A and B are shown apart, each in its own frame.
Chain A
Amino acid sequence: MIRLTALCLASLAMAACMTAQPAPARLDEMTPASREALSRALAQAVGRASVQLGPLDLTREPAISVLPPQPGPLEGASLAMPELFELVVMDARCYVRRNSDRKLFPVEGLTCRPIS
C-alpha cells in the first residue's frame, strides 16, 4: 500500500513536471467566443488594437498566423509577413507562444487540451 501510494505520488509529480512545460494544444471546437479570446491575446502580443488571423484549424493543429497590415496599393515590393504563433497549454491554462522568440501570452477564457 505504501509502495502504491509512493508510486502514485511519483506519477503525479512527474505529470506536474511535464505540464510545467508548454505543450502544443488544440481546441474541442472553434467558436466565435474562442476566436475573440485568441484575437485579444494576439493583439496584445503584437501590440496592435486588433488583429486578423490567417488560416487555422485549432481543433486539429496548434498553428496560428497573425496577418500583417494589408500592404498599401503603392507597395509593389512588400516584405510584409504573417507573424506565427502556436497554441500551447501549461498548467491547464491556454497560451499563445510566438515562434520567433518563444514568448508566452495567456489566453483568458479559453479551454484547450494537449495534442496527444
Chain B
Amino acid sequence: MFAALRMTAAGFLMLAGLIGLGACGGGGGGGASAGTPSQPPPTGGGPTWTAGVYPAASTFKNRCEVVRTGVDIEGNGFPDVQGTGVDERFWLRSWTNETYLWNTEVEDRNPASFSTRRDYFAVLRTTARTASGKDKDDFHFSEATTDYVARRNAAPRATYGAVITSLSSTPPRDFRVRYTEPGSPASTVLAGQPNLVRGSRILRLNGIDLVNANTQSEIDALNAALSPSAAGVATVFQVQDPGASAPRTVTLTSVSLSPTAVNRTAVIDGGGGSKVGYVLFNTFSPFASEQQIYQAIVDMRAQGVSDLVLDLRYNGGGLLAVASQLSYMVAGPARTTGRDFERLRFNAAAGNRNPVTGQTNSPVPFYTTGLGFTLNNSVSLPSLNLGRVFVLSTGSTCSASEAVINGLRGIGVEVVLIGDKTCGKPFGFYPQDNCGETYYTIQFQGVNHIGFGDYADGFIPDNSTASFGVRLPGCQVSDDLTRELGDPSERMLQAALGFRASRACPSLPSAGTLGVPDAASVSRTPGISLELPSPGVMDDNRDMTMPPGR
C-alpha cells in the first residue's frame, strides 16, 4: 500500500525494508477502487446537495458506510456510527470547505455524483499552478487509516545502516552509499576501514551481479539481500570505494535501528583562529531530534564556533517545534525575543482561528527551552548568536528544513545557500481520519516574522540558472559522493567555506573528475529495473511531492 505513496524526490532510503520492484501500482487499501464518477443511486433520506451551501463537517463526521468495531492497534476505540458513502463524501466536502487552504478554488460538486470517497476527494483541490508551472497543490491524497497508524507504530526496521542512492536502476546499475548511520554495521570500522563509506558502489550482493543482473530470480534475490526481513541477516557486499582501484568484500549483518537525526558534527579550522561548526542534521521527525540537535549546539558553543554550516541536504523536515528550537539556537535571544518563528496562514474564512483545532491561531514562537519531546522543558537552550548561517541543500531539503531558512530570514539572519534548489514546501496539514481513511489536504502555509512564505518553487542559490525560486546568497553546487560528509574537501562544504572566506563561489572540479561517473553518460541497454524501496518511517525525504496520478 505504502509503495503507492512513493515520493518522486526520494531516490534513496535506508538500505532495509521493502523493495518495490514494479510495486508502483495505483491506490488500494481502505477505499473502493477508483473510477469515473458515475450517476448515483437514489439517495433516499440522505443529505442533499445545494451548491455553495456547506453544512458543518461535524454533521457528517464518523458517519460511515462501513462501521469499524473494536479498537485499533493503539487500543483506541472507533468513533464510527452507521451512515452511508454519501455521508462520507458530504463530510469531505464540508471539511474541505472549512479547512483546505485554497477552499475558494475548489469547484463545488455534488458528492452524490461520485461513486467512492477517493474519487470525490481527488477533485477537492485547486488546479492552479505556481509561477514555474508545477501544481500549486501537489500533495493531496489519502490512505487507509490502518496503514497510517501501523506505520507510526512500526518498530525500528532491520537494516545494515547504509542509506543508498540509485544513480541508475537498469543495467549497468549504479547503486551508491549516500551515508551510513553511526553505530551501525555499515559504519563499523575494522582494521581502520569502515565497512561502507560514502560513495561506495555496490557491485555484488551474495555473489549476484547487481550491476548487470537481468533475470527475475536474480532481481528477487537482490531485493531480499537489500531488504533484510529481520535483524541477524548476513549479506556479503562487494563494493568499490571512490578512487579505489579494486573492489573489496564485506559481510554485514542486519540490525534493528532507527535513523539518527544528527548524524555527525565537526569543528573546522576557519583560519585566523576562527572555528566553523558543521552539523549533519538529517531529520526533524523523531522525538530524539530535539535532544540531539540541542547537544550538537551545546558542543558547538563549547568549542567557540563563530560560523555554522547546517547540512540539511537530506533533511525532509518533521517537527516544526524542533525547527524553531534550532533557529533560536542559531540566532540567539537578541534576534528572536518578541518575534515569531512561523505564523500559520489558513484560509480566509478561518479568520484568527485554526480551523482544524478550533483554537486561536497562535504563531509558532522561537522556543527557548526544551519542549518535552526528549529534552525536559526546564532546560534552557544554548545559542550561538549568529547573524549568518550556511545551509547545504538539495531538492530533498523540505518543509521544516525550509522553515528554518525562512524563519531565520524573517528576523534578519543571513542564510547562505550552498547546493541546489530546495523542494519548495511552505505548506502543512493535519492528517485526518474519517471512517477508516486518512486524508491529507493542505491546510496552512507557514510565513515568517515579516509575513513571507511564498517559496513554493523553492529557495535557490543566487548563481543558479533556474528561472524560478527565491534567490539567496550562495552557490549552486551538486552533491559530491566522493568525499565523506563533514570533510572540508566535500564539494558543498568546500564551497561554503570558500564563500565564507571570499563571498564568492569557488571554482570546483566537476563530479566526473572526482571519481563518480556521470550515470547519464553510460551506455545502457533495456533491462529489469531494480527500484529502491519507498522510504520507511522517519527515513528521509518528507518531500510532499506526490507522484503523478495520485
Please measure, in the bound complex, the distance between the C-alpha atom of A22 and the C-alpha atom of B344, giving whole angstroms. Answer: 36
Q: Which of A12-20, A26-34, A70-78 contacts B (4 or more CB under 8 A)?
A: A70-78
Quick check: B75 and A76 within 8 Å, CB to CB?
Answer: no
The DSSP consensus for interface residues of chain B is: loop
B307 interface residue (CB < 8 Å to A): no
With a cutoff of 8 Å between Cβ atoms, the chain A residues found around residue B285 in the complex are: 70-71, 73, 75, 78
Quick check: A74 and B544 within 8 Å, CB to CB?
Answer: yes
B431 interface residue (CB < 8 Å to A): yes
The DSSP consensus for interface residues of chain A is: loop
Quick check: B152 and A70 within 8 Å, CB to CB?
Answer: yes
Size of the chain B interface, CB-CB below 8 angstroms: 52
Q: Which of A3-11, A50-58, A87-95, A105-113 contacts B (4 or more CB under 8 A)?
A: A50-58
Quick check: B403 and A67 within 8 Å, CB to CB?
Answer: no
Quick check: A70 and B287 within 8 Å, CB to CB?
Answer: yes
Q: Tell me, rounded to whole Å, the shortest Cβ–Cβ distance linking A80 to chain B.
A: 6
Q: Tell me, rounded to whole Å, the shortest Cβ–Cβ distance linking B539 to chain A.
A: 7
Interface residues of B in 387-429 (CB under 8 A from A): 398-400, 403, 425, 427-429
A102 interface residue (CB < 8 Å to B): no
Please measure, in the bound complex, the distance between the C-alpha atom of A67 and the C-alpha atom of B344, giving whole angstroms. Answer: 22
Given A74-B542, A77-B446: A84 and B377 interface contact (C-beta under 8 Å) = yes
Given A49-B75, A67-B287, A77-B428: A72 and B318 interface contact (C-beta under 8 Å) = no
A2 interface residue (CB < 8 Å to B): no
Given A69-B152, A72-B431: A80 and B372 interface contact (C-beta under 8 Å) = no
Please measure, in the bound complex, the distance between the C-alpha atom of A114 and the C-alpha atom of B285, giving whole angstroms. Answer: 36
B228 interface residue (CB < 8 Å to A): no
Please measure, in the bound complex, the distance between the C-alpha atom of A50 and the C-alpha atom of B477, giving whole angstroms. Answer: 47
Given A48-B76, A50-B74, A72-B151: A78 and B376 interface contact (C-beta under 8 Å) = no
With a cutoff of 8 Å between Cβ atoms, the chain A residues found around residue B539 in the complex are: 73
With a cutoff of 8 Å between Cβ atoms, the chain A residues found around residue B148 in the complex are: 72
Given A69-B152, A73-B536: A80 and B319 interface contact (C-beta under 8 Å) = yes
With a cutoff of 8 Å between Cβ atoms, the chain B residues found around residue A81 in the complex are: 321, 371
Given A48-B74, A78-B319: A73 and B376 interface contact (C-beta under 8 Å) = no
Quick check: A71 and B152 within 8 Å, CB to CB?
Answer: yes
With a cutoff of 8 Å between Cβ atoms, the chain A residues found around residue B370 in the complex are: 55
With a cutoff of 8 Å between Cβ atoms, the chain A residues found around residue B538 in the complex are: 70, 73
Given A76-B316, A78-B318, A82-B372: A50 and B431 interface contact (C-beta under 8 Å) = no
With a cutoff of 8 Å between Cβ atoms, the chain A residues found around residue B429 in the complex are: 75, 77
Q: Taking CB as reference atom, which chain A residue is nearest B428? A: A77
B158 interface residue (CB < 8 Å to A): no
Q: Tell me, rounded to whole Å, the shortest Cβ–Cβ distance linking A38 to chain B.
A: 14
Q: Taking CB as reference atom, which chain B residue is nearest A78? A: B319
Q: Tell me, rounded to whole Å, the shortest Cβ–Cβ distance linking A78 to chain B.
A: 5
Quick check: B76 and A76 within 8 Å, CB to CB?
Answer: no
Please measure, in the bound complex, the distance between the C-alpha atom of A74 and the C-alpha atom of B377, giving whole angstroms. Answer: 27
Please measure, in the bound complex, the distance between the C-alpha atom of A75 and the C-alpha atom of B5, giving whole angstroms. Answer: 13
Interface residues of B in 66-93 (CB under 8 A from A): 71, 74-77
Q: Taking CB as reference atom, which chain A residue is nearest B7? A: A74
Q: Taking CB as reference atom, which chain B residue is nearest A57? A: B376
Query: Of B5, B152, B287, B399, which is within 8 A of A54 by CB?
Result: B287
Quick check: A75 and B542 within 8 Å, CB to CB?
Answer: yes
With a cutoff of 8 Å between Cβ atoms, the chain A residues found around residue B71 in the complex are: 49
Q: Tell me, rounded to whole Å, the shortest Cβ–Cβ distance linking A68 to chain B.
A: 9
Q: Taking CB as reference atom, which chain A residue is nearest B375? A: A55
With a cutoff of 8 Å between Cβ atoms, the chain A residues found around residue B286 in the complex are: 70
Contact with B along A18-46 (1 / 0, CB 8 A): 00000000000000000000000000000
A1 interface residue (CB < 8 Å to B): no
Query: Of A49, A50, A55, A70, which is within 8 A of B374 by CB?
Result: A55
Q: Tell me, rounded to whole Å, the shortest Cβ–Cβ distance linking B68 to chain A.
A: 15
B535 interface residue (CB < 8 Å to A): yes
Contact with A along B449-462 (1 / 0, CB 8 A): 00000000000000
Given A71-B152, A72-B431: A77 and B320 interface contact (C-beta under 8 Å) = yes
Q: Taking CB as reference atom, which chain A residue is nearest B285? A: A71
Please measure, in the bound complex, the distance between the C-alpha atom of A102 and the C-alpha atom of B146, giving whole angstroms. Answer: 34
B27 interface residue (CB < 8 Å to A): no
With a cutoff of 8 Å between Cβ atoms, the chain A residues found around residue B76 in the complex are: 48-49
A-B contact pairs, 10 of them (CB 8 A): A54-B374, A55-B372, A55-B376, A73-B285, A74-B7, A74-B431, A74-B440, A76-B399, A77-B317, A84-B372
Closest 9 CB pairs of A and B: A65-B372, A76-B399, A49-B75, A76-B542, A76-B317, A77-B428, A82-B372, A54-B372, A77-B399
